[in-house]
Amino acid sequence: MENRDFKDIYSQNDCTEMRNTHINIGTGVDISIKELAETIKNIVGCKGELKFNTSKPDGTMLKLTDPSKLHDLGWKSTVELEQGIELVYLW
């Protein structure tokens, strides 16, 4: 990504106003908050019980990001979520 420029992510003929140069980085794979919490719990070795407040709304059911712009620029993730969490935790 260090070798890319902002002009690489949009078409010069596009009439859409560009406000920033950020690109969301995602894998195209969705995971629930519960699954994420359980993954973190397992990695850090927590023996406690997870409790969720089911009286509150669930929020957005699908939080999937589309990585097609990243893939078009030649970038693909190389670290799976569980491995990344473990690396950060060990760090």
38 secondary structure, DSSP code: H
Of 69, 72, 76, nearest to 27 by C-alpha is 76
pLDDT tens digits for 9-50? 666 666 566 565 666 677 788 888 889 999 999 999 999 999
pLDDT score at 9? 63
- The CATH number assigned to the domain with range 6-90 reads 3.90.25
Give the three-state DSSP class for 19: coil
Q: Spell out the domain ranges in the chain.
A: 6-90
How sure is the predictor about 64, in pLDDT bands with cuts at 50, 70 and 90? Answer: confident
Per-residue pLDDT of 79-88, as tens digits, reads 889 999 999 9
Are 80 and 43 a contacting pair, CB within 8 Å? no
